[in-house]
Structure 1
Amino acid sequence: MSDVAVTRSGDESGGALFRLRTIVFLITVGVAAFVAMLVATAYAPGSTPRGGGAAHALSNSALGYSGILRLAEATGHQTRVIRDDNLLSTPGLMVLTPQTADTPMGEALTRRTRLPTLVVLPKWQTIPDKGDAGWVDHVGLLPSSEPEGVLAPGNKFKISRAPSGGRPLLTDGFLSESIAFSAPRPLQTMTGDKLTPLLTDQAGHIVLAQVGAGPLYVLADGDLLSNMGMREASNAQSALALLDQLNDDGQPISFDVTLVGLGRAPNPLRLALDPPFLAMTLTLVAAMLLAAWQAVTRFGPAVRRERAIAFGKAALVDNSAMLIRKARRQARLGGRYVEVIRDRAVTAFGVPPRLRDQAIDDYLDKLTARDRFSDLARAAESATDRASLVAAAQALHDWQKEKAQ
C-alpha cells in the first residue's frame, strides 16, 4: 500500500480552498487580535460598583463624597480613587471613610504613619432605597459607639451630638480663616486626649482635630464633605480649601474605597505584563514561537519510511537468519552447509557423475593430504553451539577456496 494520496486530475494540492499564504495571514491576524485583547483586558480601567449609597467617594447618595471628588477634578486638582490595598501608602492626602466601628483600620494607618491622612467618622444610619438604586433612606443617627470605636483602642474620644442652628464654625491651628463652614444640623463633635483642635463650633467643641504630632486628622462630622454639604457654594469652597491645607503641596488627593469593600484585587494578567515578570513572559512567548516554527517547518531532507517487509532474496535471507537466530537453532545448520559445499565441489572439481554419497566424500578426500573433506564435514555436522559451527564453516570455506586456486 502506498503512503501517497491520490488526487483528482493529478493535482498535488488536494484541491485546497485557500493558499498557504492566505492561511498564514489569517492565523497571524487572529493571533495579533487575541494578544491585543489580552493586553486591553489587563490594562482596562474597569468599573466599580457604587456600594448601595454608602458614605464613600464613589457614592452619589446624600452621604457620599462623589461631589467633592468631582469638584476637585473640575478645579484642576490631581485625584485618585484607591481600590488596591497596595496603594494605601500613596503620597499626598488620603481620605478614609470607615462605615462602622469594626472597620479594620490598622493596616491603613500603619502604612500612612508619616503621610497626611483624613479619617471621616460615620454619622448617619441609612438603608438602601428600594425604588432607586444607589439612593438611601434616612433612618437616624448611628449609635455614638460606632464613630467612637473607629480608632479605638489606640485613640479614644467621646462623641457628642447637639443642635447647631447652622452657625459658622471656627478655624484654629494652621487652618486659614478662609475656611468658613456652616455647621451641619445636628452637629457631631468629639473630645479626647491627644486631639489638637483645627475646626470647632461656637462653644469650642472639636469638629476637626489633629491626632498626636503626626499628619493624622479626624473629622467628626462627615456632612462637611458629603454631597449633602456640597449644596451650598460656600461649604463646597471651604471643603476644597480644607483638603488643600491638609495636603502636601503638589501631591494628589486620594479617596480610599477599600475600607467599604470596593477594593479590586491585582489583575494576574497585568502582573504578567509588568516588570519584573515581563521578562519571563517574553521568554515563554519566544519559546512557544520557536516550538510552533519547528512544528510547521521541516529541518533537513525528507526521510522516507522503510517497508515493514523488504523486497528481494537478500531480504528473505536476512529475515530467515533473524528467525533462526531468535529460535537459537544456528548449530543445527551445519549439515545443510556441508551439503551446499559438497554440491559446489562436485561441480567445481569435476567429480564423476556415477559417484554417490560416501564415494563423493572419498573422492574429495584424495584431492589433498592435509585437510580431509570428510573430517571437516563431520566437524560441521557435530557442532553444538554457534562458535563451533562458525569455526567449522570457516574451515570448509577455506578448504573450498584453497582447492579452487
Structure 2
Amino acid sequence: MSEIAMRATDKGRTGPVERLFSPLTVALLLVIGILGFAGSMLLGAYAPDMRSGHDGGTHALSNAATGFSGIVALAGATGRNPRIIRAETDWATDDLVVVTPDHGWTDLSKLMATRKGRATLLVMPKWLTLPDKGRPGWVKVAGLLPAIDPARILAPATEIAVSRHASGGRPLQAVRWAPDALNVAAPRPLQVMTSKALQPIVTDDAGGIVLGQVGDSSIFILADPDLLNNHGIRRLDRARAGLAIFDFVRDNGSRGIAFDVSLNGLGVGRSPLKLAFEPPFLAMTLAIVVALALVGWQALIRFGAPRPPERAIAFGKAALVDNSAMIVRKAGREGGLGPRYAALVRERARAIFGVPVRLTDAEADAYLDRMRGRGTFTALVDMAAGARHPADMLASAQALHQWQQEKTR
C-alpha cells in the first residue's frame, strides 16, 4: 500500500485507531524474551557444571552405594574443606586429590604427571553394578569386577596383583605411625593388592595390602573402596577410618581435599561462552548489555515533538511546478528556459495589450517597447536569452514578470 493511500485511509477514519497489542503487553513480551535469551545463554555456558552426577557411578557426586558423596559431606562437616574438581587444569593443586576411577584401565598418565610430588589418593574399583530402573541414581550390585580390572590402575608403570577373600570382619593392621582408627574391621569380601612397588600402610592379617604408598612418592592407593564409599561408611568405625585415611595421606601444606570427577566423565572444558560471564571478560559483557539497553530505550522512547512525515509527492499546482523544475534540473536543461519564458510573456502580452496578430516577434517586441515603463521589453528578452547561470536566469525571469505586472496595473 502506498503512502498516499495509507494517509488517505487515516484521514477517512473518524474514531480512534485500535491497537493490536497494548504497550504493557509489548513490554512484557520484551522482558520475557530478554530474560529467556539471557537464561539460555547462562545455561549453555554453565550446564556442564550443573550436572548432578546422580548416575549411580563410583565418584564423589554419586549417592549410590558405590558412590562417595557421603564421605564428601562428612569431610565438609568435619572441617576438611572438600571440593569437586571437573577440569584437568585443577589437578595442579596442593590439596589432597582423591581419584575414584570407574575402571582400572582409565588413563591416569596425565594425572600422575601433574600430581608428581603432590598428595594423591587412588581408590581402586571393586564392584560390578547395574542401574536400578525403579529408582534413578541407585544401582544393583551384580558382583565383583574381574580382578584384572582394578589391577591395571597404574599399569604398565607399576605392576599390581589384586585378590579377594573372605575377611571374616577381622581388624585391619596399620603401621605404628598411622592413626589407630585405621585398625578397623575389614570389609566383606576384602580386596587386597600385592606389589613390590608398594609400601604397605594398612594390611590384612595375611599381609595383603589395603592401603599402600607407591615407592617414596606422595601417591597412595586404596585397594578396597568400601572403606570410603557410601555403603562402607554407614558404619561409624569405617567413617572414622575414611577420615583417618585422608588425614594420613595429606601433606602438611594441604588445606583441603579435592575429589576429581573429570575421569568419571563429568569433566568440563574451557568454553568461550563461559568466559563471557567470568572475569576479566565479565566487565566487557556488562558494558555491551548496558549499551544495548540504552539503544533499546532510545528506540522505544521518542525525543522531542513528533514531526509528521512529508509527502513524497505533494498536491496542487505548486507541486507540479516543483516537480517540473526538478526534472529540468536533473536533465541539465536550465540554459534553454530563458528564451522560452520570454516567449511565454510575449504571448500573454499580445493577448493582454491587444498587439496585432499580423506582427512578427521582432515587430511585437518593438510595439511593446513603446509602452511606458522603466525598461524596454526587447532589453529584457535579450537578457533572458543570454542567461546561462541559474541565478542570472532567475533574475531575468523576475524582471520579465515584474514588467508584466507593472504594465497591467
Indicate the TM-score class for this superposition, using the shorter chain for normalisation: 0.7 to 0.9
Between stretches 133-142 and 235-244, larger displacement belongs to 133-142
Distance 1:34 1:87 in 2: 32
Task: Say if 1:57 and 1:65, in contact at 8 Å, map to a contact too.
Answer: yes
Displacement of 1:226 = 3.1
Give the match for residue 109 of structure 2.
Answer: 106
Displacement of 1:300 = 4.1
| Secondary structure at 1:320 match in 2 | helix
Distance 1:72 1:87 in 2: 19
Task: Say if 1:191 and 1:205, in contact at 8 Å, map to a contact too.
Answer: no
Q: Please say if 1:282 is aligned against 2:286.
A: yes
Are residues 319 and 218 of structure 1, via their aligned partners in 2, closer, same or farther at CA, if it must alter by over 3 Å? same
Give the match for residue 309 of structure 2.
Answer: 305
Distance 2:235 2:282 in 1: 50
Task: Say if 1:64 and 1:227, in contact at 8 Å, map to a contact too.
Answer: yes
Between stretches 98-107 and 133-142, larger displacement belongs to 133-142
Distance 1:141 1:354 in 2: 126
Displacement of 1:276 = 1.5
1:178-230 CA distances to partner (integer Å, 9 max, x unpaired)? 4212334344122122x332222334443212224332111122233234433
Distance 2:31 2:227 in 1: 55
Displacement of 1:147 = 2.3
| Secondary structure at 1:236 match in 2 | helix
1:104-149 CA distances to partner (integer Å, 9 max, x unpaired)? 22333333334321001223334445666522233334132x2232
| Secondary structure at 2:276 match in 1 | helix
Distance 2:218 2:345 in 1: 113
Task: Say if 2:164 and 2:192, in contact at 8 Å, map to a contact too.
Answer: yes
Give the match for residue 116 of structure 1.
Answer: 119
Which of 231, 247, 260 aligns to 1:256? It is 260
Displacement of 1:282 = 0.8
Displacement of 1:5 = 4.3
| Secondary structure at 1:156 match in 2 | coil
Give the match for residue 219 of structure 2.
Answer: 216
Which of 76, 80, 85 aligns to 1:82? It is 85
Which of 314, 320, 339 aligns to 1:316? It is 320
| Secondary structure at 2:341 match in 1 | helix
Distance 1:103 1:73 in 2: 28
Give the match for residue 72 of structure 1.
Answer: 75
Are residues 341 and 389 of structure 1, via their aligned partners in 2, closer, same or farther at CA, if it must alter by over 3 Å? farther
Which letter maps to 2:58?
A
Task: Say if 2:126 and 2:224, in contact at 8 Å, map to a contact too.
Answer: yes
1:148-187 CA distances to partner (integer Å, 9 max, x unpaired)? 3211233333334455444332222742334212334344
Q: Please say if 1:143 is aligned against 2:147.
A: yes
| Secondary structure at 1:273 match in 2 | coil
Distance 2:185 2:122 in 1: 20
Q: Please say if 1:167 is aligned against 2:170.
A: yes
Mark the runs of 5 or more structure 1 residues left unpaired by the alignment.
none
Between stretches 270-279 and 355-364, larger displacement belongs to 355-364
Which of 326, 332, 337 aligns to 2:341? It is 337
Distance 1:141 1:247 in 2: 29
| Secondary structure at 1:109 match in 2 | helix
Give the match for residue 179 of structure 2.
Answer: 176
Are residues 153 and 316 of structure 1, via their aligned partners in 2, closer, same or farther at CA, if it must alter by over 3 Å? same
Displacement of 1:285 = 1.0
Which letter maps to 2:291?
A
1:311-349 CA distances to partner (integer Å, 9 max, x unpaired)? 55544333233334455665665653343454687799x
1:335-385 CA distances to partner (integer Å, 9 max, x unpaired)? 53343454687799x897697325434556889xxx99779969988x9xx
Q: Please say if 1:207 is aligned against 2:210.
A: yes
Give the match for residue 244 of structure 2.
Answer: 241
Mark the runs of 5 or more structure 2 residues left unpaired by the alignment.
none
Which letter maps to 2:246?
L
Are residues 290 and 355 of structure 1, via their aligned partners in 2, closer, same or farther at CA, if it must alter by over 3 Å? same
Task: Say if 2:147 and 2:163, in contact at 8 Å, map to a contact too.
Answer: no
Taking every aligned residue pair, what percent have the same amino acid on both sides?
Answer: 39
Task: Say if 1:180 and 1:235, in contact at 8 Å, map to a contact too.
Answer: no
Distance 2:34 2:340 in 1: 73
Task: Say if 1:99 and 1:260, in contact at 8 Å, map to a contact too.
Answer: yes
1:50-82 CA distances to partner (integer Å, 9 max, x unpaired)? 333x43334444433344334434545433333
Give the match for residue 95 of structure 1.
Answer: 98
Task: Say if 1:189 and 1:221, in contact at 8 Å, map to a contact too.
Answer: no
Task: Say if 1:157 and 1:191, in contact at 8 Å, map to a contact too.
Answer: yes
Which letter maps to 2:276?
A
Between stretches 148-157 and 320-329, larger displacement belongs to 320-329
Task: Say if 1:376 and 1:392, in contact at 8 Å, map to a contact too.
Answer: no
Which letter maps to 1:169?
L
User: What is the TM-score with the length of structure 1 in the denominator?
Assistant: 0.73
Distance 1:158 1:148 in 2: 6
